[in-house]
């Protein structure tokens, strides 16, 4: 039997990148996937790919999960479609970079809203459904930038928001102890996505130098993260709780 057989998994940001890879991976492992995205066309394409591969998926799009109303609507639609929730994978986020002294204040607030508040709103919406199911799994996405400075692009808003996600995850693990909810955090390094491709594919940019300091000597692919998430969502990971797992090719092991 597949590792996620019969589980209902809510995955945000399924229109592309890691979210699309996760939808495909979770469905391949037997989960019923309920996705969400701002782009209805991209969300529909992911549904098509999942079904073409023999999986089960529905989604709500467009939906803005950065506010409580959108998050509540997403969870309600999933419960209506599949009868409950076993896994919440808070994959979606959006950010704006900028120097701390010159970036518009709105860019700071936008990043905090879409990388930290979004996770809170979706978790708050899904928590009762997880409790009603007898427990479940919450997967949040932080970043190596939550734990170390990044010099090649100013990332203070991103690092601060993801540091908050990391702290929130540990508190969720504590809060879930008596209701059977596990909460873990995934901290990616450089992963190829539509947003990062312009840095990765620029031979004159900073990425070749970064790869020289990466033990794995490559960037990560969305499927790398998706496979880790699927394992953490499964019962095989039942004793992993409150953890932060880097998936960065070894960058965080190098210190500095």
Let me know if residue 25 belongs to a domain. Answer: yes
User: Which pLDDT score is estimated for 197?
Assistant: 67
User: Which pLDDT score is estimated for 193?
Assistant: 78
Task: Collapse the DSSP code of 46 into the 3-class scheme (helix H, G, I; strand E, B; otherwise coil) and give the result.
Answer: helix
End-to-end CA distance of the chain: 44
Contact 138, 90 (CB under 8 A): yes
Let me know if residue 173 belongs to a domain. Answer: yes
**239: domain CATH number?**
3.40.50.720
Number of domains observed in the structure of the chain = 1
Task: Collapse the DSSP code of 87 into the 3-class scheme (helix H, G, I; strand E, B; otherwise coil) and give the result.
Answer: strand
Let me know if residue 82 belongs to a domain. Answer: yes
pTM (predicted TM-score): 0.94
Sign of CA dihedral 238, 159, 197, 61: positive
Distance of alpha carbon 195 from its chain centroid, rounded?
Answer: 15
Let me know if residue 252 belongs to a domain. Answer: no
Nearest 5°: CA angle at 115, between 207 and 68?
160
Task: Collapse the DSSP code of 21 into the 3-class scheme (helix H, G, I; strand E, B; otherwise coil) and give the result.
Answer: helix
Let me know if residue 183 belongs to a domain. Answer: yes
Let me know if residue 36 belongs to a domain. Answer: yes
In DSSP notation, 99-144 reads -TTTS-HHHHHHHHIIIIIHHHHHHHHHHHHHHHTT-EEEEEE--G
Let me know if residue 256 belongs to a domain. Answer: no
User: Which pLDDT score is estimated for 232?
Assistant: 98
**Ranges in the chain, pLDDT < 50:** none
Q: Which domain holds residue 139?
A: 8-243
Let me know if residue 249 belongs to a domain. Answer: no
User: Which pLDDT score is estimated for 215?
Assistant: 84
Question: Any idea of the CA torsion for 150, 171, 119, 230, to the nearest 10 degrees?
Answer: 90
User: Which pLDDT score is estimated for 189?
Assistant: 83
């Amino acid at each position: 039997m597949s590792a996620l057989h019969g589980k209902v998994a809510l995955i945000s940001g399924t229109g592309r990148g890691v979210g699309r890879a996760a939808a495909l991976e979770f469905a391949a492992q037997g989960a019923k996937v309920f996705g969400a995205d701002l782009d209805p066309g991209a969300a529909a394409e992911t549904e098509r790919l999942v079904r073409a591969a023999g999986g089960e998926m529905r989604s709500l799009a467009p939906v803005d999960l950065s506010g409580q109303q959108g998050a509540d609507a997403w969870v309600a639609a999933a419960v209506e479609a599949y009868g409950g929730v076993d896994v919440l994978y808070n994959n979606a986020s959006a950010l704006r970079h900028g120097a701390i002294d010159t970036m518009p204040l709105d860019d700071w607030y936008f990043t905090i809203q879409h990388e930290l508040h979004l996770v809170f709103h979706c978790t708050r919406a899904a928590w009762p459904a997880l409790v009603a199911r007898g427990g479940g799994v919450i997967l949040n996405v932080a970043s190596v930038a939550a734990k170390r400075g990044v010099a090649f692009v100013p990332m203070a808003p991103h690092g601060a928001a993801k540091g908050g996600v990391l702290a929130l995850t540990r508190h969720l693990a504590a809060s879930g102890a008596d209701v059977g909810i596990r909460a873990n955090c995934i901290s990616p390094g450089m992963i190829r996505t539509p947003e990062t491709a312009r840095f990765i594919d620029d031979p004159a940019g900073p990425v070749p130098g970064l790869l020289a300091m990466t033990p794995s000597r490559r960037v990560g692919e969305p499927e790398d993260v998706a496979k880790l998430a699927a394992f953490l969502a499964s019962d095989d990971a039942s004793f992993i709780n409150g953890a932060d797992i880097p998936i960065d090719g070894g960058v965080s092991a190098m210190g500095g």
